[in-house]
Amino acid sequence: MVSKKIVAVVMVVGAFAAGAYYGGSQKAPVITNSSAGASYSGGYDKSADSDAKKSSKKSAVKQRTEVGETHVVNDGETIMAAVQAAKPGDTIQVMPGTYHETVYVDKDDIRIIGVIKEGKRATLDGKGVLNDAFLYSGNNFVVENFFITKYKGNGVMGQAGNNFEIRNNIIEDTGVYGIFPQLGKNGIVEYNVISGIEDAAIYVGMSDNIHVAYNDVFANVAGIEIENSRHAIVENNNVYNNTGGILAFITPGLPIKTTYDVIIRNNFIYNNNHKNFGAPGSMVGSIPAGTGILIMASDDVVVEDNIITGNKTTGILITDHANAPGVTIDPESDPNPDGVKILNNLMYNNGYDTIDEVKALMLTEFKQGEPDIVRVGVTNDSCIINRHRYVSVGVNGWAECEFTNTDAIDSYLLDEPVPPRVIDPSERGKVVYNGVCAGCHTYTGRMIGPPVQIIQALYMDNPQGVADFIASPTKKRDDYPEMPPQNYLDEKTRLAVAEYMLAQKK
Amino acid sequence: MKVFRFALVFILALFFVHNDILAQGVDAMNVEQERTTFVLSDRCPPSFELTDDGVCRLLTQYQFYNSVQNKGLGGTQTNLPPHRDGFTPAQIDLGRYLFFDPLLSGDGTISCASCHQPDKGFSDDLDRSIGITGEKVARSAPTLWNVAFVDKFFWDVRAKTLEEQAQGPLFDALEMGNTPENLLSTLQNNNYYVAMFSQAFPQAIEQDNNIALSQVYTALTAFQTSLISLNSRYDRYAHGYHQALTKREIAGLNVFRSFVARCAECHQPPLFTNNQIAVIGTPEPEGRALDIGAEKTYNAPKLRGAFKVPTLRNITKSAPYMHSGRYDNLLDTVKFYNDGRGNSVPEGEEMLLHWHISEPNLTDEEMELIVEFMGTLTDESLTPQIPRNVPSGLAVVDEKYQSP
């Protein structure tokens, strides 16, 4: 499946073997010492991001100024009952035991902490019938210390929750993804042990400012995947026995079109030779077993100080969309991986049983052997240091990098978390009046409800009266339908809209 | 003073009691005038605020939230994608009259509203819509709710703006069958419209006293972008009132957004679309050849059979479903996704199916829950008023017009 594609391209680009870096000219290699030299400054300018304010704090969730209630969940009870009872700021402690439920959190600032007693954890067991274990859309979400297994979908799935921390969880065989924060900004995924996942153990999708560190991921199709995301660091992870180790992708067809500014550093990435058991048609389903790092279409991906060994196809595979099998096109996304930066890495014993397409590609550069780095398709402005150390194909034309390390970048997390989602009280009345009330009431005319002018005459100095009425209206006029209750608006909003309505002049 | 005011208001109220033909936002005082002179509204439709510049700007609670890359996609409390607004009340109201006026079709038999009926989710109840010839056209009429947030139009996304889109049905021989020349001259020969266009486009009209086609498209766009549906029971849940949904509906939401069903991966809240195209491989109605969709638009074989991901808001109102109306109910539509990847791809066809088209193996119960959840996405509270009379004097199209 992979083969035809790559071979076809090889025919076309065969000529690019000429002008090799040192192969032809026998010049002495450029040896670059990464402990000296310039540091990469990344592609993220914190000062230009309005969400990022200066502070010395280092975590993803908002620091609590007031400590809320702690809800304790014991074996035999449900976590969900505690979530329903919890208010923002509360903590839920889950005692060891087995829980069979989907926990969904559509509230802000909820922390769910498993209590580990003498090695015994709170276990979420989907028993092969439940879909996801944790689903959250609230900001400032923390989930820690669980053992999660036998779900069909994901272990932990975020949908647009910002400022999240997912740590210390053991996740085995939870279906498609182990941990999948999607459409979130500012989050940490660390110290998780994840295995047996049919897609990616950790999948960061369409997110910004993410830190993935100290995770142990093995026996999955993909270890860690950064997809259509920006400003992500993947460091200090142990990634082995997956089909592909660490992936930085642009998946075409998604609404957010870019991946850039990704640093993959200080990871162990070894023996990722697991048979691909991905679902047919999935993005990872056609990754060749034995791929250490796979960079597809992403820009400004830095690969530094990783130990990459024993990956039988290649240590690092870099491709554009056109050469990736089974990948669609997206007229709105750039298919080329530009600005790849390969700094020092320990690469050893990779590519020892590589695929025929790679062998054919190597022949275009008159090379044989076991490739550490394979690049196919178009790339612009990519660079590498100490290239003479590696068996490579497709990087001869790359420049020397102008920096040797990423030491200047500690983290891409925001110094100050993404601010809370509150509707400004001064605007609340106006928005609800126009968006809700105005559907039935105009100032003077008759619509579904009586004119605002009449309501003003009745409640002139009594906004509370209006606020109370709309919460549970009674039928007042024979010639108008009864108003539906607006009790879904909270008390403050009801009062704000009442005041706004009574102040209208036209 | 207060008593006096109250009395006055009361009398006014009595006066209006049986007067039910008000246009949206039109003062009661204008009612009589509207029948004969079509005075355009000077107020914005609900959910819009009139700015000091005299244009209408959208107001919603979602505007107080944010989203990654400001794309308006994600979870419960996520802002909306960039949208169109900034039209004047007169332009929006003119668009409303044009939308409902059969004068826009070549033979005066159908209006925009014939296929985009307000009580049918601004769609019709046909698998494929019927134009002036009485024949069915190629595809199903899409909903117009929340079209202000859409940046690709037609099932095959061949238009990038509503203005561009409007020219499709207007001048398609099988749809409204008009020509630009005929449309202009019929409008120009209608004194009401000449007056209304001069109200809606005062500066342009002053110059040469002629209606321009671009003004027709602008007015239609202005009206359509005022069709806002963001106060469903789901929205109340999303803003934090969790009692707005029943237990079963919440269970349905959780299946919908689970990574097993994966509905929310493309039908992403808050609009329940990601405004992208996808190849999902739905079957055509029996006897119809495969519709290649966006393959043609982009001249890209990898997009063979790709169609726009439609919004699911007010989805219960706009059956039948899919680009050619293959399914007449939501449960069958959901079952299509559950029957496995490629279950309806014709033999010998090569289609690069979307990666989220999988084999979710949902139970019957889970599929029913998804359907119940989709029922919470209904909000027609801001349905605009259908004009009783339109400037052409033609009958505003009867809602039963297209019943088979």
A 158-177: CB under 8 A from B: 158-162, 175-177
pLDDT at B178 over 80: yes
Q: Give the per-residue pLDDT at B402.
A: 47
Indicate yes or no: CB of B6 within 8 angstroms of CB of A457: yes
* Choice among A22-31, B44-53, B56-65 with the minimum mean pLDDT: A22-31
Whether A317 and A263 share a structural domain: yes
Q: Give the per-residue pLDDT at A478.
A: 82
* Choice among A148-162, A164-178, A460-474 with the minimum mean pLDDT: A460-474
Q: Give the per-residue pLDDT at A55.
A: 45
Whether B264 and B184 share a structural domain: no
Whether B68 and B194 share a structural domain: yes
Mean pLDDT of B279-291: 93
Q: Residue A375, SS3?
A: strand
Whether B214 and B76 share a structural domain: yes
Q: Is the dihedral of CA A55, A57, A61, A67 positive or negative?
A: negative
Q: From the CA of A36, how many Å to the nearest CA of chain B?
A: 36
Whether A146 and A200 share a structural domain: no
- The answer to whether position B404 is within a domain reads no
- The answer to whether position A68 is within a domain reads no
- The answer to whether position B395 is within a domain reads no
Instruction: Output the six-digit token pair for B120.
Output: 């049918």
Q: How confident is the model at residue B345 (pLDDT cuts 50, 70, 90)?
A: very high
- The answer to whether position B293 is within a domain reads yes
Higher pLDDT, B185 or A62: B185
Chain B residues whose CB is inside 8 A of the A131 CB are: 254-255, 258-261
Indicate yes or no: CB of B61 within 8 angstroms of CB of A435: yes
A 366-425: CB under 8 A from B: 418, 421-424
**In chain B, whose CA is at the least distance from the CA of A435?**
B47
Per 3-state DSSP, chain B is made up of helix, strand and coil in percentages (nearest 5) of 40, 5, 55
Q: Give the per-residue pLDDT at A422.
A: 79
Q: What is the CA radius of gyration of chain B?
A: 22
Nearest by Cα to A60 from A143, A124, A176: A143
Rounded-to-integer distance, Cα B213 and Cα B149, Å: 23
Indicate yes or no: CB of B13 within 8 angstroms of CB of A254: no
% of residues, chain A, pLDDT over 90: 71
Q: ω before B82 within 30° of 0 (cis)?
A: no
Q: Is the dihedral of CA A145, A151, A155, A158 positive or negative?
A: negative
Q: Give the per-residue pLDDT at B36.
A: 62
Which of A175, A205, A224 is a domain's end point?
Answer: A175
Count helices and strands in chain B by DSSP H and E runs:
15, 4
Q: From the CA of A141, how many Å to the nearest CA of chain B?
A: 14
Per 3-state DSSP, chain A is made up of helix, strand and coil in percentages (nearest 5) of 15, 30, 55
Whether A439 and A497 share a structural domain: yes
Whether B69 and B214 share a structural domain: yes
Mean pLDDT of B7-20: 39
Which of A152, A175, A198 is a domain's end point?
Answer: A175
Tell me the residue range of the domain where A288 lies.
Answer: 1-52+189-409
Whether A120 and A193 share a structural domain: no
- The answer to whether position A65 is within a domain reads no
- The answer to whether position B173 is within a domain reads yes
Mean pLDDT of A138-150: 97
Rounded-to-integer distance, Cα A147 and Cα A125, Å: 8
Instruction: Output the six-digit token pair for A183.
Output: 């459409």
Whether B168 and B241 share a structural domain: no
Q: How confident is the model at residue B29 (pLDDT cuts 50, 70, 90)?
A: very low
- The answer to whether position A59 is within a domain reads no
Indicate yes or no: CB of B259 within 8 angstroms of CB of A180: yes
- The answer to whether position B392 is within a domain reads no
Indicate yes or no: CB of A451 within 8 angstroms of CB of B355: no
Reported as a single tens digit per residue, the pLDDT across A190-227 is: 999 999 999 999 999 999 999 999 999 999 999 999 99
- The answer to whether position A157 is within a domain reads yes
Give the contacts of A155 (CB within 8 A, at least 6 positions apart).
A132, A133, A134, A148, A169, A171, A174, A177, A178, A179, A194
**In chain B, whose CA is at the least distance from the CA of A493?**
B61
Whether B205 and B257 share a structural domain: no
Which of B159, B193, B224 is a domain's end point?
Answer: B224
Q: How far is CA B26 from CA A114, A452, B14, B31, B222, in A?
A: 59, 14, 18, 8, 17
Rounded-to-integer distance, Cα A24 and Cα B395, Å: 83
Helices (H), B239-351: 247-256, 263-266, 294-298, 330-338
DSSP bridge pairs for A70:
A91
Whether B208 and B294 share a structural domain: no
H/E element, A263: strand A260-265
Chain A residues whose CB is inside 8 A of the B354 CB are: 253, 281, 328
Reported as a single tens digit per residue, the pLDDT across B55-111 is: 999 999 999 899 999 999 999 999 999 999 999 999 999 999 999 999 999 999 999
Mean pLDDT of B111-131: 95
Q: Give the per-residue pLDDT at B206.
A: 59
Tell me the residue range of the domain where B27 lies.
Answer: 2-35
* Choice among A273-282, B268-277, B395-404 with the minimum mean pLDDT: B395-404
Mean pLDDT of A297-318: 98
Reported as a single tens digit per residue, the pLDDT across A74-114 is: 999 999 999 999 999 999 999 999 999 999 999 999 999 99
How far is C-alpha A329 from the geometric centre of its chain's CA atoms? 22
Q: What angle do CA A394, A201, A337 make, to 5 degrees?
A: 25
- The answer to whether position A70 is within a domain reads no
CB A37 within 8 A of CB A31: no
B52 by Cβ neighbours in 10 Å (0-12 / 13-18 / 19+) ranks as exposed
Nearest by Cα to A167 from A148, A151, A143, A149: A143
CB B308 within 8 A of CB B160: no
pLDDT at B382 over 50: yes
Q: From the CA of B16, how many Å to the nearest CA of chain A?
A: 6
- The answer to whether position A62 is within a domain reads no
pLDDT at A142 over 50: yes
Q: What angle do CA B229, A486, A457 make, to 5 degrees?
A: 105
Q: B259, B275, B311, B350: best mutation site toward chain A, by most A Cβ within 10 Å?
A: B259
Whether B29 and B106 share a structural domain: no
| pLDDT averaged over every residue in chain A | 90
B 303-332: CB under 8 A from A: 303
Chain B residues whose CB is inside 8 A of the A432 CB are: 61
Question: What is the dihedral angle through the alpha carbons of A363, A366, A367, A372, rounded to the nearest 10 degrees?
Answer: -70
Check which CATH number belongs to the domain holding A447 and give it: 1.10.760.10
Nearest by Cα to B77 from A155, A138, A117: A138
pLDDT at A58 over 70: no
Whether A234 and A357 share a structural domain: yes
Rounded-to-integer distance, Cα B307 and Cα B157, Å: 7
* Choice among A390-394, B32-36, B81-85, B313-317 with the minimum mean pLDDT: B32-36
B343 at A interface, C-beta within 8 A? no
pLDDT at A157 over 60: yes
Whether B187 and B209 share a structural domain: yes
Check which CATH number belongs to the domain holding B249 and give it: 1.10.760.10
Mean pLDDT of B296-305: 96
Which of A144, A175, A206 is a domain's end point?
Answer: A175
CB A415 within 8 A of CB A46: yes
pLDDT at A13 over 80: no
Q: Give the per-residue pLDDT at A125.
A: 98
Whether A122 and A48 share a structural domain: no
Indicate yes or no: CB of A281 within 8 angstroms of CB of B341: yes
Indicate yes or no: CB of A439 within 8 angstroms of CB of B381: yes
Rounded-to-integer distance, Cα A369 and Cα A390, Å: 11
CB A450 within 8 A of CB A439: no
Whether B27 and B60 share a structural domain: no
Between B75, B237, B352, which is nearest A160 by CB? Answer: B75
Nearest by Cα to B139 from B325, B276, B286: B325
Q: For chain B, how many structural domains are there in total?
A: 3
**In chain B, whose CA is at the least distance from the CA of A207?**
B68
pLDDT at B381 over 80: yes
Whether B200 and B84 share a structural domain: yes
Q: What angle do CA A227, A229, A230 make, to 5 degrees?
A: 140
Q: How confident is the model at residue A434 (pLDDT cuts 50, 70, 90)?
A: confident
Instruction: Output the six-digit token pair for A358.
Output: 């790679």
CB B98 within 8 A of CB B196: no
B 77-116: CB under 8 A from A: 77-78
pLDDT at B116 over 80: yes
Whether B144 and B180 share a structural domain: yes
pLDDT at A282 over 80: yes
**In chain B, whose CA is at the least distance from the CA of A437?**
B46
Q: How far is CA B34 from CA A414, B216, B354, in A?
A: 57, 20, 51
Q: How confident is the model at residue A45 (pLDDT cuts 50, 70, 90)?
A: confident
Rounded-to-integer distance, Cα A336 and Cα A375, Å: 11
Q: From the CA of A48, how many Å to the nearest CA of chain B?
A: 14
Instruction: Output the six-digit token pair for B142.
Output: 């899409």
A131 at B interface, C-beta within 8 A? yes
ipTM exceeds 0.90, yes or no: no
DSSP bridge pairs for A346:
A307
Whether A160 and A198 share a structural domain: no
How far is C-alpha A372 from the geometric centre of its chain's CA atoms? 27
Q: For chain A, how many structural domains are there in total?
A: 3
Neighbours of B361 (CB within 10 A): 10
Nearest by Cα to B131 from B116, B120, B147: B116
Q: How confident is the model at residue B398 (pLDDT cuts 50, 70, 90)?
A: low
Question: Packing angle between helix B191-200 and helix B213-224, nearest 10 degrees?
Answer: 70
Q: How far is CA A424 from CA A8, A492, B329, in A?
A: 58, 11, 41
Q: Give the per-residue pLDDT at A27.
A: 66
A 453-492: CB under 8 A from B: 453-454, 457-458, 460, 479, 487-490
Residue that is written with structure tokens 């083969």 in the block: A3
Q: Give the per-residue pLDDT at A476.
A: 81
% of residues, chain A, pLDDT over 70: 93
Greatest distance between any 2 Cα atoms in chain A: 97
B13 at A interface, C-beta within 8 A? yes
B231 at A interface, C-beta within 8 A? yes
Q: Is the dihedral of CA A283, A288, A291, A295 positive or negative?
A: negative
Please give the full DSSP string across A41-103, using - where no structure is assigned: --S--GGG-TT----S---SSPPPSS---EEEE-TTS-HHHHHHH--TT-EEEE-SEEE-S-E
DSSP bridge pairs for A31:
none
- The answer to whether position B352 is within a domain reads yes
- The answer to whether position B382 is within a domain reads no
Mean pLDDT of A58-70: 85
B290-299: long-range contacts, CB 8 A cutoff, minimum separation 24: B290/B346, B290/B349, B291/B138, B291/B139, B291/B323, B291/B324, B293/B155, B293/B156, B293/B323, B294/B156, B294/B157, B296/B156, B296/B158, B297/B156, B297/B157, B297/B158, B298/A329, B298/A331
DSSP bridge pairs for A318:
A295, A375
- The answer to whether position B359 is within a domain reads yes
